[in-house]
């Protein structure tokens, strides 16, 4: 059976054969230049995952690892059909939208005494319990609640049967290898198998599997069981926000046909040629940005391979997209409803 290309090789292959999405080399250099000083800031570091985001666990513990596992199991499809009508979750007197509405809902459930991060609980959650735990504080529900219910039951059951109910057991089995941990996640948990076919070649993105590895690295502060020496093997997490910010910054470009389609609000489907190109080119574009950044520092006599990687670049660009949403309004994101991102 033909194996899937890993995300990095998939991205390179897709970019080399792309018809609707283009990586702009001058734009890549421009973005690398823009980030040159940023990489020295705390936000562009593993510490920034905690210090910049109050909803993330702030301690190193097995419970924190299981929080990360639950959240990344459900880390998909938060965009709103209408900008004025959103799912919002109130937590500690603050309203959260998008991905943060999920984190807020998890923390709210824990505060209410619901053992939401326990596999033995979510393996048997009913749809009504899921609807209650992830309820919105507006009339707009969190998207894909039935899918989230199925994924929770399936993932919780597997975590109990194969890893004693704790994701930390799975982390330990990786032997401190990010690449091995991605492999373990994809092999054991079906909902993380974010794969497709492009021009007859099997390609993979593994957005949620890779962000789960990255967030595990971050919550463990890159130490102990989370000391992944090969963290640079992980690519950016190809979703619907990162491509938007790359186009906004000029590092990537859409064909007129594709931009017209996106501006009209047409939905793409998982595995569509254009959807695959958007995701693949985004990954490869960010690989080139990282490489160019490393080269810029190398010319200054500095080896920054410990401080520059796709994980930290993704974290930075994702926060940049959130903070510059108004500036990016002219660039549409690709609309898709699926469990992969």
By annotation, the residues acting in catalysis are 239
Helix (H, G, I), strand (E, B) or coil at 203: strand
Residue pair 5/13 in contact (Cβ under 8 Å)? The answer is yes
Residue pair 210/12 in contact (Cβ under 8 Å)? The answer is no
CA–CA distance from 292 to each of 39, 278, 304, 310, 313 (Å)? Answer: 13, 21, 11, 12, 12
Contacts of 195 (CB under 8 A, 6+ apart): 4, 202, 203, 204, 205, 206
For 77, half-sphere exposure in the C-beta direction (CA atoms, 13 angstrom radius) is 20
Would you say the C-alpha torsion 301, 296, 288, 214 has a positive or negative sign? positive
**Token pair listed for 84:** 């004025």
C-alpha–C-alpha distance, residues 293 and 307, integer Å: 11
Please enumerate, as own/partner, the contacts of 290-295 that have beta carbons within 8 Å and a separation of 24 or more: 292/28, 292/29, 292/32, 293/32, 293/35, 293/36, 293/39
**Token pair listed for 50:** 């905690």
C-alpha–C-alpha distance, residues 159 and 185, integer Å: 10
Strand partners, 82: 85
C-alpha–C-alpha distance, residues 248 and 246, integer Å: 5
Contacts of 246 (CB under 8 A, 6+ apart): 31, 252, 282, 285, 286, 317
């Amino acid at each position: 059976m033909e194996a899937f290309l890993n995300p990095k090789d998939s991205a390179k292959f897709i970019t080399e054969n792309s018809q609707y999405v283009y990586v702009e080399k001058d734009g890549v250099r421009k973005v690398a230049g823009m980030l040159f000083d940023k990489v020295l800031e705390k936000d562009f570091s593993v510490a920034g995952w905690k210090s910049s985001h109050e909803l993330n666990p702030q301690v190193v513990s097995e419970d924190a690892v299981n929080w990360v596992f639950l959240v990344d199991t459900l880390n998909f499809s938060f965009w709103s059909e209408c900008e004025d009508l959103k799912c919002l979750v109130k937590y500690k007197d603050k309203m959260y939208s998008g991905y943060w509405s999920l984190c807020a809902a998890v923390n709210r459930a824990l505060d209410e005494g619901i053992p939401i991060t326990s596999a033995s609980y979510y393996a048997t959650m009913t749809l009504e319990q899921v609807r209650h735990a992830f309820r919105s504080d507006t009339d707009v529900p969190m998207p894909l609640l039935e899918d989230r219910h199925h994924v929770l039951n399936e993932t919780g059951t597997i975590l109990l049967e194969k890893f004693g109910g704790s994701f930390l057991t799975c982390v330990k089995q990786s032997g401190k290898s990010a690449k091995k941990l991605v492999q373990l996640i994809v092999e054991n948990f079906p909902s993380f198998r974010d794969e497709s076919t492009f021009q007859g070649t099997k390609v993979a993105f593994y957005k949620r599997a890779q962000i789960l590895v990255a967030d595990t690295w971050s919550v463990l502060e890159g130490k102990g069981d989370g000391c992944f020496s090969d963290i640079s093997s992980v690519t950016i997490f190809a979703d619907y926000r990162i491509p938007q910010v790359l186009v906004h910054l000029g590092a990537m470009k859409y064909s007129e046909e594709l931009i017209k389609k996106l501006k009209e609000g047409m939905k793409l489907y998982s595995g569509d040629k254009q959807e695959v190109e958007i995701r693949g080119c985004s990954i490869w574009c960010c690989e080139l940005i990282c490489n160019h950044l490393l080269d810029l520092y190398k010319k200054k006599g500095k080896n920054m391979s410990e401080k520059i990687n796709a994980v930290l670049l993704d974290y930075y660009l994702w926060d940049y997209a959130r903070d510059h949403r108004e500036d990016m309004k002219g660039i549409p994101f690709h609309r898709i409803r699926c469990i992969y991102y």
